[in-house]
Chains A and B, each alone.
Chain A
């Protein structure tokens, strides 16, 4: 990468730090100027820093299901929470929230990842596809149709993650046998135990050869 460009970019990114320092200093100055005992106490207890941290957000441009969003997020916001809480896309499910169940699986730049362990602030300009982005108008995606046809779920809570993972499993070239599908779908837990039918659905889409 061009070094000058890199340096320029970094300087830009570092602005966040100086803005925070400014906030810290300015709130401290306000506290000292007003100087009633409670506010001095506040600065001693580093409340000013806590307030600065609370209002600290970073700008984020992200494309979700073809729609561009420009917003501010706290650095700690996960992609999962961004989708569900900020963008009201609640199709992606929060299961364990610790990377153990796969319910939150989405595609980032075409690759399946766990949105619960992905920091939104690290996804600048990323293209995200969620379960809501699969259908074309009222026409369901072939994998969605196959899950319905093969009874690939009971309660349905893991289903968005299973479908996102199932599509990726075929695209990656890991759906060549039932055994391989089971291995490459092992990150998606289904507590109803619909595994057999989930594999049926993936096999059907793979063998159907439709564009996915």
Chain B
């Protein structure tokens, strides 16, 4: 690892102004992804701004929403009794991710900023447009079993690895960020971006912006929710495909529904068309199957990941079925 300077910031204001001064500085919180990337020389900041001393760890509830501080740990959020009761989908998604040691270290903001686990991104002997723009994509025509089936481009077919983000996309969360220019809010589904011809850019954060919190509006998805994660082993593996499903059911009729997928795109993939279709329908295997077909309309495989074209719709049906039966 290249050596660097480290400075501890104790306020958001000092962190963002410190970042503005240094072109090659990066924020560090849990470090579970960044330290790994630095060991592999994929990230080589000259300065790290340690933000762990900033007071951004609280989870606060109001009659309209929950506000989760960007420095709240993944395990802290997952095991918070009120989160479990009011936003169970978020707890399920968090607990499906990583291991308990990593969840104890990783922050909510950092989870959102984790880089893809595409093996070409991690292998510095290989071309990767995300790591080195215009160097080519090894995964297209290569080993792409883990890769995208939605929204990919000719320059990148990598997927976003987070489970937490899939639940946050489904639950209409909003991200609050702060910079030297002030605060702004970003809709969670607009936070991460599709690769297009700029796969090096994972998200819509600008220059010195720091994530300070994530808000989720209160909802009625307290019972019929499920996070289904299909992976190569039962635990501690990234998703081949995951589905966050939340249903509000009254008299067997779907009043409201949220669906999002992980492991299939460069960002958490919200299934809005399938949601629209399901609203007002009576719960049945048939409508779940139709919703899954609708969700898969624009999907395409890249060779080794063609199995996801069958796995994904099956996972949607399974997640909806399990959620409905709770």
Contact = CB atoms under 8 A, between A and B. Distances in A.
A54 B3 contact: yes
Given A117-B36, A186-B235, A188-B99, 18 more contacts: A6-B10, A9-B8, A76-B2, A78-B35, A97-B39, A98-B36, A98-B39, A112-B104, A114-B102, A117-B31, A117-B102, A119-B28, A119-B48, A168-B100, A169-B100, A172-B100, A186-B99, A187-B101
Interface in A99-124: 99, 102, 105, 111-114, 117-119, 121-122, 124
Nearest to A8: B10
B319 to A, nearest CB: 19
Given A10-B14, A99-B36, A182-B235, A113 B101 contact: yes
Contact of B104 (A76, A113, A119): A113
Given A122-B28, A182-B235, A1 B99 contact: no
A74 B3 contact: yes
A99 B104 CA distance: 13
A124 B5 CA distance: 15
Interface string A191-212: 0000000000000000000000
| Size band of the interface chain A makes with B | 35 or more
B169 to A, nearest CB: 24
B203 interface: no
Most A CB contacts (10 A, CB to CB) among B50, B101, B236 go to: B101
Contacts of A184: 100
Interface of A: 1, 3, 6-7, 9-10, 13-14, 16-17, 20, 53-54, 56, 58, 74-76, 78, 97-99, 102, 105, 111-114, 117-119, 121-122, 124, 165, 168-169, 172, 174, 182-184, 186-188
Contacts of B35: 78, 117-119
Contacts of B50: 122
B7 A16 contact: yes
B55 interface: yes
A99 B100 CA distance: 12
Given A97-B39, A99-B32, A75 B104 contact: no
B71 to A, nearest CB: 13
Interface string B1-15: 111111111110010
Contacts of B98: 187
Contacts of A119: 6, 28, 31, 35, 48
B9 A10 contact: yes
B52 interface: yes
Contact of A105 (B5, B36, B101): B101
Contact of A76 (B3, B9, B10): B3
